[in-house]
Structure 1
Amino acid sequence: MKPLPPEYYRELEEIQAADFVIVELALYLHTHPGDLEAVKQYNEYVKLSKNLKKVFEQKYGALTSFGYSYARCPFDYKEAPWPWQV
């Protein structure tokens, strides 16, 4: 596996943190669907997560496959490391 810069790990951790907040807020909203502030916070974190992923993928390649991320040419998703390998 090729060596990765420290920024890779920091940026990946930022994505993971944002996605964790999204999951937790979604669970909360299942039982409190009328909480407008929680809905606003959920939408803010969804936007943040999408932006972080876009920047990450432009630098390092796709985070996922099967239509969730755009591919580069040549197709490089097969190249390690994949996010779950680091």
Structure 2
Amino acid sequence: MRVSENVNIVYYEKLEELQQLDFALVELNLYLDTHPGDLQALQQFNQLAQKYKECMQQFEMQFGPLMNFGHSYSRYPWQWNDTPWPWQV
């Protein structure tokens, strides 16, 4: 297996981890909309939100920005035109 193939595997694994965290956060958000007093769900939401931020920062450091318009930083040279973009995979 070549190095670029290993990078692609890690890219997809990290992106899938972010998608799983995002899904869980959306579901907890919807649940908390109807159960705002559920402390355990709120704690779980906050823990996952922190983990999501950490995973996103690690992903962006390794593979480039996930979002544009000032939501993500870019290294030099400008990375936003590098493909594939996260929504293309």
Q: TM-score range by the shorter chain?
A: over 0.9
Other-structure match for 1:61: 64
One-letter amino acid matched to 2:27:
E
Other-structure match for 2:73: 70
Other-structure match for 2:18: 15
Q: Deviations over 1:19-60 (max 9, x none)?
A: 100000000000000000000000011001001100000000
Higher-RCO chain (CA-CA 8 Å, sequence separation at least 6) = 1
Q: As a proportion of its length, which structure holds more helix?
A: 2
Shift of 1:75: 1.0
One-letter amino acid matched to 2:76:
C
Q: Identity across aligned pairs (percent)?
A: 47
- Please identify runs of 4+ aligned residues in structure 1 that moved more than 2 A: none
5+ residue gaps, structure 1, are none
5+ residue gaps, structure 2, are none
One-letter amino acid matched to 2:47:
E
Distance in 1 (alpha carbons) for counterparts of 2:88 and 2:16: 13
Other-structure match for 1:45: 48
Q: TM-score, normalised by structure 2?
A: 0.90
Match of 1:83 among 80, 83, 86: 86
Shift of 1:15: 0.2
Shift of 1:78: 1.1
Other-structure match for 1:28: 31
Shift of 1:85: 1.0
Aligned residues: 85
